Structures are given as C-alpha cells and as structure tokens.
C-alpha cells in the first residue's frame, strides 16, 4: 500500500492536529509546518506513536511571505514527493480594533489571505506539474456574507475561497481524477481560536468531527465542502436575506 506524503500548514491548530492523527493511523509520512518548534515536536512524537511512517518539522512563521516557494520545495524534497497539502492556519483578529487601526486590519488580511494564497499557489504549481494530489484549504463560513461583527476576517476568507475555487477549476480542466482542490468551510468549532465566543449547542462541532470531513474531502470531494454539512443550508438562507432585513440584525 502506498505511503501518503502529507504537508500540514498550521499544524498546531486543533483541527490540524485532529486531522493529522487520521493520517497517522494510515501510516502516512507527515511534514508539520508552524511557528512553535516545541509544540510541533510534541505533535510529531504523538503522530509517530499513532503509526505515522515518518514525521518532519518546518518551523517558520507561515505568514512570512519571503521564500515560500523554496520552503515548499524543500518539504517536497524531504518527503520524496507530496500527495496532500492541507492549509489550516489563520487568525480571527479583532474586528473593532481593525476598524480603528489599519495595521490590525492588514495583519488579518496578510495572514488569512495573502500568505495563505501564496502557499496555495505554490502547492498548486507542484501538484499540477506532477499531475496528481490534493490541495485542501480550510476557509470559513464567515466568507459567505459580510457581517458587521467580523467582515475583515470574512473578507480574507472569501478571497481565499475564490482563489481555491479557481485552482479547483484549473485542475478540473486537466481531467485527472487524482488531482483536485477543495475549500472546506467549517462553522463553529470548539477550538482555542474560538475561546472568546459563547460555546455550546447543536451548531458547534468538535475538531475531530471536522477532521473526519476534511480527511474525506482530501480523498476526492469538493470543490466546496461545508463542515458539518448543514452549514450549506444555513448560509444559503443567510445569503438570501434581503439587505434591508439583514441590516436590522446584529450578526
């Protein structure tokens, strides 16, 4: 059985770690990328104990936009090729602060859109050249409609979503079933990133629930997957609400 070779960008996030564990039990070779080398080493040891064939670490600030292509190529060389690239990282940011201070807005946009887009394009270039592989980018339902509570974050995720849809279209024209790109849109997920929100209720998912959806998406679904599935219909309703009514809400 072929050993899958995986690169996880933003590997210290709760959803990324839960997804990496699914690959580990399959015996995959996994490269973990993120800022915290100590935390990455801890996750790598856990994945090895769970069955990962090999693990490696790329310790760097993924929002740093210099040298992305060289770093990506280095990981591919270390793994001996690559099958799945999964992008998880991002920041929720502070909407109110972003409205007062453009540097906060720029930080959110740079991390959640610009750098993520460059990593996605580097991955797409390599996967297209080899003629196979999956690019899975974790976006957000926040990108489906601008809301006063988080529209800077939502704008970045919307832009990233369009970029991934374009890559999916580009791949589809190659007519290779083994080559695809997927945008996964989680709703509320109980992670440290959402600690500032009131949690609980039927709309909240665990990182493990979303990880299972992401792993399935990497195997061949897409180009847009809501996680869990019911967010597709919730966001459809939200998008269809007329602006005069929508603007009376505080969403």
Note the Cα 229 to chain centre separation in Å.
17
Beta strands in 101-211 (DSSP E): 133-138, 179-186, 188-189, 204-205
The tokens for 132 are 């196979």
Does 153 participate in catalysis according to the annotation? yes
**SS3 for 246?**
helix
Exposed/middle/buried for 176, CB within 10 Å: 0-12, 13-18, 19+? Answer: middle
Q: How far is CA 76 from CA 5, 17, 58, 174, in A?
A: 9, 20, 11, 22
Measure CA of the first residue to CA of the last residue in the chain; give whole Å. 48
Residue 14: Cβ within 10 Å count? 19
Q: How far is CA 13 from CA 90, 198, 233, in A?
A: 9, 19, 27
Residue 202 in contact with residue 228, Cβ under 8 Å?
no
Task: State the number of CA atoms in the 13 A half-sphere of 121 facing the CB.
Answer: 12
Looking at the annotation, which residues are catalytic? 153
């Amino acid at each position: 059985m072929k050993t899958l070779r995986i690169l996880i960008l933003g590997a210290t996030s709760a959803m990324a770690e839960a997804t990496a564990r699914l690959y580990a039990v399959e015996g995959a070779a996994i490269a973990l990328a993120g800022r915290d080398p100590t935390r990455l080493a801890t996750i790598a040891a856990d994945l090895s104990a769970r069955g990962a064939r090999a693990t490696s670490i790329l310790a760097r600030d993924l929002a740093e936009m210099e040298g992305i292509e060289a770093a990506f190529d280095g990981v591919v060389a270390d793994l001996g090729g690559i099958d799945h690239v999964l992008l998880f990282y991002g920041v929720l940011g502070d909407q109110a602060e972003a409205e007062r201070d453009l540097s906060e807005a720029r930080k959110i946009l740079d991390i959640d859109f610009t750098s993520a887009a460059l990593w996605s394009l580097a991955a797409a270039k390599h996967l297209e050249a080899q003629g196979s592989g999956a690019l899975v980018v974790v976006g957000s339902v926040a990108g489906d409609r601008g809301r006063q509570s988080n529209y800077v974050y939502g704008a970045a995720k919307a832009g990233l979503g369009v970029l991934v849809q374009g890559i999916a279209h580009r791949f589809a024209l190659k007519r290779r079933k083994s080559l695809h790109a997927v945008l996964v849109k989680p709703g509320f997920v109980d992670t440290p990133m959402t600690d500032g929100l009131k949690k609980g209720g039927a709309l909240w998912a665990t990182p493990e629930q979303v990880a299972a959806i992401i792993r399935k998406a990497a195997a061949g679904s897409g180009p847009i997957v809501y996680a869990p599935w019911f967010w597709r219909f919730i966001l459809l309703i939200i998008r269809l609400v007329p602006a005069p009514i929508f603007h009376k809400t505080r969403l």
